[in-house]
Structure 1
Amino acid sequence: MNIVKQISKFNNSEGNDIKYIVIHSTGNTDDTAKNNADYFGRADRQSSAHYFIDDNSIYQVVEEYKASWHCGDGGNKYGIGNHNSIGIEMCGTDNGNISDATINNTIELVKTLQDRYNINNDNVVRHYDASRKCCPSQFSYNNWTRWNDFKNRLNSKNKGYIVTNYLPNGYRGDNSFVGVDLEYVLSYFKDVRCYIKSDSKGVWIETQALPMDKCLELKEILGYWFYEIK
């Protein structure tokens, strides 16, 4: 994940005891992360965010240890304010809508920040939760269905490892036993570190930790050899 740091000396204040990640949308049509970084990097904007995200880029405008001015309109009434949160703005790159690519980039950044600050999913919130402003507005339709989808993706694992079934024994043409052909089986795991496991019932393979998309790819390749993703 490549983040462009374009830190502004304006539109922020000292001190940030980070407990929340607050998700916004810019409300603009066909804007970009860089355009927003340029705009909110100037003096006297009276608002800002830590990060701006579009389909292809993430720009950071305020250091995380400082407060950006992104949800002060709630007056801390709901326990979420500028000085205990990181503000993330999603740009309206898709005719004012939030594209899947922008959402994917946002999910990746949010998960990184969650790991960094030990923030659970309940504390990844909308601007709405901080002030009751309808933001991110593009997620509000059908009783916030897209927001619920966003949160569900945070609950999903982004890494795992493959466990195979017990591997079948091999036999020669005359039906004489040759055992498990590990060299052949491991050819399905190109560039993946594997661990050979065994017990009284047989032999199986467990892989190193892998991105979830790689786990799903291997699941399809392995067919009946596949047992589970852990």
Structure 2
Amino acid sequence: MTASHSKEDIRAFLIAKTGLNPAKAEDSSIIVGSGLVDSFGLVALLAEIEQRFGVFPDLMSLDPAEYATLGGLTKIVSTALNLPETEATPSSPAGAAATASSSSGPEIQRLAKGSPEWQQVPALMKEMFQGFAGQGLRLPLVEGGEKLWLQSLERLPESVFLVLGASVGGQLVSFASAHCKMLPAHLGGGMVGEISYVYVKPEARRHGLAGRMVAQMEDWLKSSKVRSIEIQVLTGNEGALAFWRRSGFGDELVQMRK
């Protein structure tokens, strides 16, 4: 499989995907952290490398400077292709998309792009942000923002994000999302996981849905080999703060806005 690829194939692929000018691209050209590819974009790029070449480069043990340039990342992918023991990381980590069954409430499923349940996510997100407004959120959801968020996910490979949900009678009653992103070089690089949103409609609460969705997201993120998992919680949402602390998350910082 690897014999059909060459270093030039990899280099040309990276130039095309990062938007470098082919006529000016050099091995020293910075592609990560230069505005061409940000931390979240790097994870998406790695997923596309996996799809094209069959390998998902492990950057965890590397200095960020080693993969910040066109030449550096080309070399890393080339090395991965030449190592017989290298195996591609599955685009959907084992168990991440599996349906969770429980007698204590609705089943939790990974929501597929374009599915009827996927199309119901914006309504729940809008409802969630309405609740945030009373808990101190100073950045309101823009008009149609819930749809813009979902559209942004639709442009990404499914290997870098996860959206879960549970339905009752065909109606979505909960959703949760998580994704992988790269830390900047000054924080050591490597991937971290972020749980973006967890929401359960009031009438579907007290069935353990939130806890079960979080457990699935943690399993998926850990299988993606993230260094840690982070969340953001509104300081005015005391119920959520208590929930996350019970789930093993510790307080780290307070974000302030003027």
TM-score (norm 1): 0.30
When Rg is computed on C-alpha atoms for both structures, the one with the higher figure is: 1
Higher helix proportion, which one? 2
Q: Going by fraction, where is strand more abundant, 1 or 2?
A: 1
What TM-score does the superposition give when structure 2 sets the normalisation length? Answer: 0.27
